[in-house]
Amino acid sequence: MYEICLLEPLLDQPRTRNTGMLLTFGTSSLWCLCMCCYVQILRIAPGSPKKTNDYAFGKDDDLSPQLISVCQENGTPRFCKMCKTFKPERSHHCRVCNTCVLKMDHHCSWINGCVGYKNHKIFLLFLFYTMIYVVWLFYNSMCLVLETVNVKPYSTSLKFIWTMYKVYFVTLWKILWNMWQSAWTRSWVPLLTGTPTLNMSIKFQIIIMLYLTFLFGVFLFGLTVIQLYLILHNRTTLEHIATHEQYIQLSILNTNTANINDDIKQNNSEVICLFPPEKRLYDIGLWNNWKLVMGNQWYLWLVPIQPPHLFNNDGYAFPYGDQAYRRIFKEASSTSSLQ
């Protein structure tokens, strides 16, 4: 629709051929980026824990063993009854995919799969490039309409707003009303009957594309902003909406023990219940949160590939934020004082 109604007329006229070639190049580039991200998000799985009954920490030496860890109410590691295996931190079982997903964010119907530890960056880029592509189509279509209406692109006069309202919103309402009348009376009613006209040579396809790109643009913008917010706070969608109790196993240190790991291995621990759950459990700062998902190399942030550091980590353990430590120790102190 965009190519037939906007690009071809520009390319056919010598005066606007350069503009048409520039728009064609920009549109094709954005479309290729969107398709590349979509193929990558379909190809790269989010990652699943190994099927084993032996609970193990992650590969990272600085995270294994940990002073605090998420556990079940009785203090045992989280276990998935469906997969018959232990669940690492931040992993959840997806009923649609029928498997546990590492650092599961949500199940997305668009990609027919889950967004998780290994493909979160690709999903964000897919949303971002698709949003830019839709905004690009909307802007170019709007410029064509404004040129036809003979109104300056940056004019915000009441006359311009009223003109756009009459031509497009009233037109859409009249078309939908006439379609309903045709179905109700079982007789043909011309769809454009009663719609406002300004003697403009605007194809109806442009009107439809304006509506679609506007709706999809608002929708994609909201999703992109939400994902950016969650990534910058090192939080998944499931963690953000969680309302159930959160159980944390806190290893109790012995002042006579020289090595912290000895206390953890001796199972000197206490289970702390957090309610409401701690939303900033893994928040280690905006910059560090961003690099955990997007990678350390800034020149690869906009490239739809996996960050190199994911190949060295297994997604089983994650560092905790300072605020989480403070709240957990505060809850532990309160529990000890009551006892």
Each residue's pLDDT expressed in tens, for the chain with a length of 339 residues: 677 667 777 788 888 788 888 888 999 999 999 999 999 999 999 999 987 665 554 444 444 446 788 888 888 889 999 998 899 999 999 999 999 999 999 999 999 999 999 999 999 999 999 999 999 998 888 877 776 665 555 555 556 666 666 666 666 777 777 777 777 776 665 555 555 554 445 666 777 788 889 899 999 999 999 999 999 999 999 999 998 889 998 876 554 555 545 544 555 678 888 888 888 999 999 999 999 999 999 999 999 999 999 988 888 989 999 988 888 888 888 766 555
Burial of 82 (0-12, 13-18, 19+ CB in 10 A): exposed
**What residue segments make up the domains of the chain, in order of their start?**
1-43+119-232, 58-98+243-339
β-strands 106-108, 99-101 pairing: unpaired
Instruction: Look up the pTM and report it.
Output: 0.80
CA dihedral 129, 134, 140, 143 (to 10 degrees): -130
Residue 325 structure tokens = 């430590």
CB 99 within 8 A of CB 328: no
Q: State residue 70 phi and psi, 5-degree precision.
A: -75, 135
